């Protein structure tokens, strides 16, 4: 199986996530405040986040860059060992890597991450961006896949393999 045939779903989802993230950051980050849906969601610049989620490790940009790169490498190593990859898995993997790369780009180029999405109904929740959204969504989908769906895929593949073997023995 060629590289592109195995990876096209991952690459497409990764590129879409990266494009959505970088384009929205470019156009929306400098908006001081815009109420998109009253009482629900607003667009507002946070001035740049030098930390991770909820501002942890604030000012530790180099450390966060190193950790991000190591995590991306670890995810690719993990991906190499996953046997039952389907479309759900591939899209989730692309979401995670795309989100991680979107924020890594900001940290390397700007020294901070551009956050601009604010949930009005959750004032305690930090301002975030589409990279964060896709990364979290990808992680949730991946967890559901690995916990509940990959075993179904495995048993379905085993049934197919057994029926193929039975057919070849009868011929």
Q: Is 160 exposed, middle or buried (0-12, 13-18, 19+ CB in 10 A)?
A: exposed
Say whether 132 is catalytic: yes
106 burial (CB, 10 Å; 0-12 / 13-18 / 19+) is buried
Burial of 83 (0-12, 13-18, 19+ CB in 10 A): exposed
Question: Residues 115, 120, 161, 164: which is the catalytic one?
Answer: 115
Catalytic-labelled residue, pool 32, 120, 132, 161: 132
Does the annotation mark 32 as catalytic?
no
Q: Which residues are catalytic?
A: 115, 132
């Amino acid at each position: 199986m060629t590289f592109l045939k195995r990876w096209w779903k991952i690459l497409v989802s990764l590129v879409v996530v990266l494009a959505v993230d970088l384009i929205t950051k470019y156009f929306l980050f400098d908006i001081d405040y815009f109420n998109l849906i009253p009482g629900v969601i607003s667009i507002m610049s946070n001035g740049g986040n030098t930390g991770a989620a909820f501002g942890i490790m604030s000012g530790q940009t180099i450390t966060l860059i190193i950790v991000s790169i190591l995590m991306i490498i670890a995810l690719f190593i993990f991906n190499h060992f996953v046997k039952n990859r389907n479309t759900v898995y591939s899209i989730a993997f692309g979401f995670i890597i795309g989100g991680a790369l979107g924020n890594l780009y900001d940290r390397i180029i700007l020294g901070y991450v551009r956050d601009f999405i604010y949930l009005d109904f959750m004032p305690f929740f930090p301002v975030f961006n589409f990279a964060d959204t896709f990364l979290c969504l990808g992680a949730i989908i991946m967890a559901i896949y690995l916990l509940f769906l990959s075993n179904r895929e495995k048993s379905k593949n085993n049934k197919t393999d057994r029926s193929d073997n039975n057919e070849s023995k009868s011929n």
